[in-house]
Chains A and B, each alone.
Chain A
Amino acid sequence: MIKPVCLVVLLLLPHTAYGQADRLQAYQADIQNLFSKQPAATIEHLTNINYQPSRFLNYAVSPQGSAATLFDQTVANWERARVDKQIGKSLVSRGSAPSLLGLAVEAGAVTESVDGNAATLRANADGLLRFFAGQPIFQLGRTATPILKNLNVSGSVDLTRPGTKQVQVSNNSTVAIPTSSRRLSGFSVRYDIHNGRDVRSKAYQQRWRDWFAVKRPALESAGLHLLGTIGTALDLIVNDARYGAWRADFAAALANVTPVDAADVVGRFLDRIVELARQISPDFDAKVHAVELAYSGYLANYDDAIQELNGKPLVTFEYTNSRPANQPNLHNARLIYGVNPFGGSGLATLNMGSTLYRRLQDFEAGLELDRPLGGLVTHSAVGTLSAYYQYQLQAAVVKTDCGMLPVAKGNMIVLEAKVTLTMKSSGVKIPVGVTWSNRTDLIKGKDVRGHIGVSYDFDSLLAPK
């Protein structure tokens, strides 16, 4: 009989009002750069409305909302668009791991005694090393460290208070199962043997070169339309003598600004330019709307480049050392293959592996299908269907996503359906799902327990805005 094992409930984040800080969001990185690197170049970017002009146009109309919505719907970020990254727990391991850290804190479990929290930290070896060296994360692993960039490590810590629970494993014997331990409960090392999605690889760069050559006529046509509409919206401003004069004034002000009032100075400059725009161009908002449409048309050309990248396979080897309290350490080896055979936006991942403790404990296989729900690069959720099969060669107490459980020899099948919601403009991902298992000995029949899952991809935080 198939019974529900886990039910994940949704945590809704409160909607906040759209304020000045939101309007300046696209400028925040440059505002911070005023105090860290190349201030002269940063000042030029901040006072130049032609530098990534969507951010000025967005600022100009954002209180009305339309442009903010549209620009958010364009290519948010390659990092946020990917469905192949493994953050937090899943029935099936996916090929990629975050470049820096993925922190997953998950609460809840199968039985009433196992309700602990687990924190999992993942890191890319090269990314972590360079992070501590103070180098930019997103330039990592592209040149001198070809092995480290493919190496990812993770560790899980049980955060709850120590405790045990007696579990009956046969008619006349029980074992004490620790419910938590506040200790390192496991670590894993994974190595990307082949990553066809590595944008730094020579093979990918050649594919991009070929794609760009073929796509150039379409990009040029859409690009000229885009540049023309931007010119129609902005050239009256740029040709106005006041624009140049204010640029000079604010460039001088920004050269001596303090971190406390930098955003305010940038905001005052932009407000003045917006006022000028409306003064000399009464139909400025209509012109901005035309630019919005042109951006959409232009960026749509990149969809197939991302689609092509999505179609490349991933092959990863993963070793996991599980360290359950008062139990022997288990060694698990797993081969992960990820591919999209149809070249679409989803991902199919196949896992095969085995667990070792003195002798072979089990054989396992898993299949997971991930599909963005919505546009290829604009989706706000990913749907996942997973199937996991394990043949237990020896009766044992095993660690599962739902806690420490006794399992008898034989077949085990787990099915899971899940939707992972992605919060826009952040790396927060919230999974909502249901899991079933054929093994009723794993649970107490009527036990249904929900838990809240929140995963954070720190790459999204550090990715260029």
Chain B
Amino acid sequence: MKEDMKYLYWLNSVEGIGFKAMMVLKKYVGSGSDIYHTPEHDLRWFLNERQLTALVNRRKEWDVDGEFEKLKQEKIAFYPYGSPGYPEKLLSLPSPPAALYLKGSFPDANTPAVALIGTRKCSGYGSAMAKQLGALLAERGIVVVSGMARGIDGIGQRAVCGAGGATYAVLGCGVDVVYPPENRQLYEQIERQGEQGGIISEYQPGTPPNAGQFPARNRIISGLSDAVVVIEAKEKSGTMITVDMALEQGREVYAMPGRLVDGLSCGCNRLIKQGAGMIISIEEFVDEILQASKLRLANEIKELKKKAPPAPKATTKEEKLILNFTAEEKQVFSCLDYAPRSLEQISAMNPQISYESLLRILVTFCLRGFAKQMGAGSYYKSDDI
């Protein structure tokens, strides 16, 4: 089997040969080595013209031993469909990946896994929710799968890493290609985690990020998870494609509700109307996921909870913070939202506070990390508290 890997790697590198063709070849021709050594005229029964030409050409230009050696050197593991180690959850997908490339490890099949997905261009609300949810999931030992994209994906995964949890990134390009480049730090962080995280792709190492590949990789994200959570999404978006795939695969779908006027929440609200689980509290949602997963794990957590003294009536960080505020500060803080408001707007909400002290409070908030300034002169509540 091990010997055969290098041939299967070669076969996977042939353009136009996907899962179906690979299965046909395996069934009728045999192992990777057999396929490699079968003369052209015998293969033409199983492949169309284009596939056959690609395969024959690839045979000439591909150095079977050398290329496989390169893969090893780059510490990229190769898992063809059905090989030991290939994630169980993906075996039963309608169109599973013919092979997977991996840096790090696959998520453990017995640990509950949640896919955190959402828009690339998220609002402050979305980013705050992704952070909180990511951190709590990590804390409770739930694995987070996502696409390491801009926006929700990356923010959620960074929060998981920050809380010391396990997170897995499924890419739409080769596992050795960092896309988008601004997530390089996250990429390296996941890479360093080893057992506790992985970078996964069905595309050959070196494949550049092409738009057409991203919808396809979404089926792997949902495939690896037990539940899919949509944090923010427009009504027509890549996130919705992932949701469709998740439903097709029989995964649970949850959505985070938002305001009606907020275009970024329209998709989520629509999903809720269509029957997706509604997240009204992050704590509650995480508990639900744990309940739904293996009872064993839920019991363990319950035991732990019993031992720990009952937490005082959940005072959030935010509530604690407000205790130390002056009356004016409290008032200004209550006017801040995750969506930025301009100084004029905040000022209009607090006509009795002078422009000067308003400015002083806002800039002090920024310096202490309670608020953030966006652009020139708009402020929003920091999503770190």
Indicate, yes or no, whether A interacts with B: no
A contact set with B: CB distance below 8 Å: none
B contact set with A: CB distance below 8 Å: none
